[in-house]
Structure 1
Amino acid sequence: MPTPLSERAAAPETVHEPTHPEVTWRAATAADVETVLALYRAAGAVDHPYFVVPRHEVTGKFSSSTVDPARDTMMAITPSGDVVAAGSATLGAGRATEVQTFIAGTVHPNWRGRGLGRELARWQVDRARQQLAGVDSDLPGSIGNFTEDHQDDVLALMARFGLQTRRYFTEMEWHGGHVPDVAVPDDVRIVPFTRELSEATRHARNDAFRDHWGSQPTHEERWSQNLVDNEHFRPDLSRVVVEKAAGGPRVLAFAMASVDEENWAVRGWRVAYVDLIGVRRERRGQRLAPAVMAAQMRAVRDAGLDGTILDVDTENPTGALGLYERMGYTPAHRGRALLLEI
């Protein structure tokens, strides 16, 4: 009989707050959104100057049903009231094949090298273990973190707590230019995304990503908060492939996009971000992916934008990396997925 996750997680009974002689620590609250966002953006200007941390990455910690801010967030405050470190541990809602929790955080560039990151990471891993131990399951468990490829200090810190590189992700760019014409089967059509197609698209996403590394089903709340109800989501730049079905249109493929104009200044071009691209597994190999991508690229070009960016798992089993290159995308930056398997 498999060992329950509650035993494998090796969680401490009590997760002690970090300690450091120069700061005090406490959980974050909704009233701290602006100061925490300012911290992340100050750190981002050094760690990843080519993109700006979006507001929803901070506000989402206070609106998600899977996050208890009082237990799942932590920040360091100087005697003058400045927030100089912050982090969280977030338990994933989708648990089809694995129970996942993710740790994320940063330290202000002016305060690095003083041990704040080490204290924060210790707290995060202890809290993540506690989260996993609280799930009644015998599925595999993991603690994950995403970081930029060049952040050697973060990689060393995560390794200290057992998180090792498991996957590389490449950010790719399309700077306008030629868009190929791609024919689609007669039984389907490509249309702009609408709210009426939201649930059908979510189901298509969950089917398309079932064989992707680390992917778990996206539930309604996350779909809403992170995508279709996000202030940056652009339905006019999103395209879906649909077929007729008894219960209404069935989504077979999708290319979803968002635009955060705050990124235009740091990137130097007017860019849309491709949040998701996928094809239902039974319809792969029918050119639906390049067709829906081409439709989206034309929509972006017609909207007067300069191009698009997307992230791809370099070991994606569908051959997505090669597809994107054939569609005119070129690699720009690389990140890593770090993992501690439980």
Structure 2
Amino acid sequence: MYEKSSSLTWRPLTSEDARAGADLLNAMETVDKIGEKYDEEDTLQELIDPYAELERGSLAAFDGDVMVGYMKTNYKPGAEEVHRIFMDGGVHPDYRRQGIGTVLLKAGVAAAKELHALHHPTLKLVIDARRGEHIAGVAELFRSQGFAPARYYQHLEHPLGHAIPETAIPAGMRIEPWSKKNDEAFRMIRNEAFEDHWGMAPLPANSWASKITNHTFKPEVSFLLRDMTSGAPAGMLVTKYWEADTAATGVRNAHFMFIGTLRDYRKRGVASALIGHALRAAADQDYGRASVHVDSANPTGAFRIYEKAGFTSKRRFVCWALEV
């Protein structure tokens, strides 16, 4: 498959590759600087995703025991009209500009088509991949295979400390922390609040447990806002934390993974109240920073809400898309 380095071994990923995968991602971070570090548990969580199907949907290149490149696809369990398959991957800095990335990208497109034919053959297929805008060679690689920029995402950060704004809880509502009893309300809000967001699909219960409430989930910095009159949930905020990031930077970062408000409660200060409350909780629990990713074209005006709360943009990511 790969002519220039006959010494490389190519095979699908397995759950046994968690350590090698973390080593590769951390080597990539030294050059790409997207602000993400991994440990073995982090990569294992991605490898055991129930919608990855590694045998069909992944490929990795090894030089001896060292993983030097990989790609992995994830299909959507539920989709309407368009089935968006997400493709992740990368190449070790020492092995770039040798054609490995092209092999992996072509393999990813082929794998996405196979998974699509198995799970949503009657729908339109779009393959997405998100990469840091600043990473050298990425634009050329994706354009060479027919991908085009479809969306831009900002990575925003908040310094905590004295920069936390005072925000009031909307009248008639109360904030409550995550618990096993209200976990399903969190998932329901995520699915309903994001149904009008680009590229989003509902998360079933098993995917919610695998992707969200796993070892990186921080229940003590995750909150639900509830309507006291009806008892109905109005909005939620989910926080995640990666130990490997702290080990590398010395900073504990509270990442706000999801902030969602149900349509009937929008424009009433729900998101601002949740963000302010979570920022104070993070500061009180010795986090040194908070962060969030936001779609630059978010339909609910989220970018303005984060700016008002004291977040500033640090880097931008591009979602590359291929319509098949």
Q: Give the TM interval when normalised to the shorter protein.
A: over 0.9
- Say which SS state the counterpart of residue 267 (structure 2) adopts: coil
Tell me the residue number matched to 2:180.
195
Structure-2 change in CA distance of 1:250 and 1:157 (3 Å)? same
Alignment of 1:4-43 (within 5 A): 21-43=6-28
| Secondary structure, aligned partner of 2:84 | strand
In 1, Cα distance between the equivalents of 2:115 and 2:183? 31
CA contact (8 A) 2:237 2:274 kept: yes
What residue number does 1:9 align with? none
Aligned residue number for residue 115 of structure 1? 99
CA contact (8 A) 2:13 2:54 kept: yes
SS in 2 for 1:286: coil
Alpha-carbon distance change, 49 to 288 in structure 1, aligned in 2, over 3 angstroms = closer
Q: Specify every segment of 5 or more residues in structure 1 that has no aligned partner in the other structure, as ranges.
A: 1-16
Q: CA deviation at 1:152?
A: 3.6
1:285 to 251, 262, 267: 267
Q: Does 1:232 align with 2:216?
A: yes
The corresponding residue for 2:56 is 71
Q: Is the 8 A contact 1:89 1:124 kept in 2?
A: yes
SS at match of 1:89: strand
* Corresponding position of 1:273: 255
Larger displacement relative to structure 2 (101-110 or 42-51): 42-51
Correspondent of 1:254 among 215, 229, 236: 236
Determine if contact 2:172/2:229 at 8 Å carries over to the other structure.
no
Matching residue's letter, 1:206: N
Distance 2:41 2:75 in 1: 17
Q: Which amino acid aligns with 2:322?
A: L
The residue aligned with 1:334 is: 316
Contact 2:91-2:100 at 8 Å conserved across structures: yes
| Contact 2:234–2:265 (Cα < 8 Å) also in 1 | yes
Contact 1:49–1:266, Cα closer than 8 Å, also in 2: no
Q: CA shift at 1:261, angstroms?
A: 2.6
Question: Which residue is equivalent to 1:5?
Answer: none
The amino acid that maps onto 1:294 is: G
Q: Structure 2 CA distance, aligned partners of 1:320 and 1:253?
A: 14
Query: What amino acid is the match of 1:120?
Result: L
Aligned-partner Cα distance in 1 for 2:9–2:17: 15
Q: Does 1:87 align with 2:74?
A: no
Q: Deviations over 1:281-320 (max 9, x none)?
A: 1110111110111111111111122220111011101111
Q: Distance in 1 between the 2:251 and 2:102 partners?
A: 37
Matches within 5 A, 1:290-329: 290-329=272-311
Specify the SS of the correspondent of 1:196: coil
Does the CA contact (< 8 Å) of 1:51 and 1:267 recur in 2? no
Shifted more, 259-268 versus 98-107: the winner is 259-268
Between 64-73 and 38-47, report the one with greater CA deviation.
64-73
| Cα drift, residue 235 of structure 1 | 0.7
Contact 1:85–1:107 at 8 Å: present in 2 too? yes
Structure 1 residue 193 displacement after superposition: 1.3
Give percent identity, aligned residues only: 26
Q: How far apart in 2 are the matches of 1:305 and 1:336?
A: 28
- Partner Cα distance (2:191, 2:29) in 1: 31
Equivalent residues, number: 322
Provide the residue aligned with 2:119 in structure 1.
135
Do the aligned partners of 1:146 and 1:338 also contact (CA within 8 Å) in 2? yes
